[in-house]
Amino acid sequence: MSDETENLDIEDDEGGGSRVSGKKLVLFIVLPVLLLVGTGAGLFFSGILDPILGIEAEGDAHQEAAMEDKAPTAPGVFYDLDEILVTLRTAGSKQKFLKLQVSLELESQEDVAKVEAVKPRIIDNFQVFLRELRLEELEGSQGVYRIKEELLDRVNQAVYPVKIKDVLFKDMLIQ
């Protein structure tokens, strides 16, 4: 009886037609399909396919808008603020001071009166921000640039609807 079953198995393998085993199906069909789908998804989400597909990234749109806004224009009117002196946050017992003198670049002469009307609010916003700074945040050009941008945001909030073009440092001293 065992000889008959062996013969039947051999006949099925030899004359039974083309049967594909499960391992071969996975190895030659499913695995390559999964690799292609995974590679395509990785390329899409990493942004490599964006130029090929014609998709414009959000960062590119924001960068282009920022470049258009910063196009060279005629200089505006400069308005000097009073000197600001604040103590910086330090970990040690020794206090550090920041002495700052800035100039605001306004779009027109008519804006000077509007800025003077809210000057105490501007100084207060600057004081609150500057008092929370640590000495490490003032180091290097990147730190100074970040502070400049933060002061510009705060002054624009204080004088809205007037638009301040830039905050210019006249003097910055740390003691």
Residues 35-60 pLDDT 10s: 999 998 888 888 887 777 777 655 55
pLDDT at 6 over 50: no
Same domain, 25 and 91: no
Same domain, 111 and 148: yes
**Which pTM does this prediction carry?**
0.54
pLDDT digits (tens, 9 = 90+) for 17-40: 567 687 887 788 888 899 999 998
pLDDT band at 162 (very low <50, low <70, confident <90, very high): confident
- 36 burial type by CB count under 10 A (0-12 exposed, 13-18 middle, 19+ buried): exposed
**pLDDT score of 79:** 86
Same domain, 153 and 84: yes
Same domain, 14 and 86: no
Q: Tell the residue number behind the tokens 């800035």, with chain if given.
A: 102
Bridge-based pairing state of the strands 96-106 and 77-80: antiparallel
Q: Which residue has the higher pLDDT, 98 or 91?
A: 98
Residue that finishes a domain, picked among 69, 102, 121 = 69
User: Rounded to an integer, what distance in angstroms lies between the CA atom of residue 42 and that of residue 35?
Assistant: 10
φ, ψ (nearest 5 deg) of residue 84:
-115, 130
**pLDDT score of 86:** 86
Same domain, 113 and 60: no
Domain count, the chain: 2
Same domain, 93 and 64: no
Same domain, 21 and 105: no
Domain that holds residue 60: 2-69
Same domain, 86 and 65: no
How many other CB atoms are found less than 10 A from the CB of residue 154? 19
Helix (H) and strand (E) counts in the chain? 8, 4
Same domain, 19 and 96: no
Same domain, 167 and 82: yes
pLDDT at 70 over 80: no
pLDDT digits (tens, 9 = 90+) for 108-148: 888 888 888 888 898 888 888 888 888 888 788 888 888 88
Residue that finishes a domain, picked among 46, 69, 92 = 69
pLDDT digits (tens, 9 = 90+) for 92-112: 778 888 888 988 888 888 888
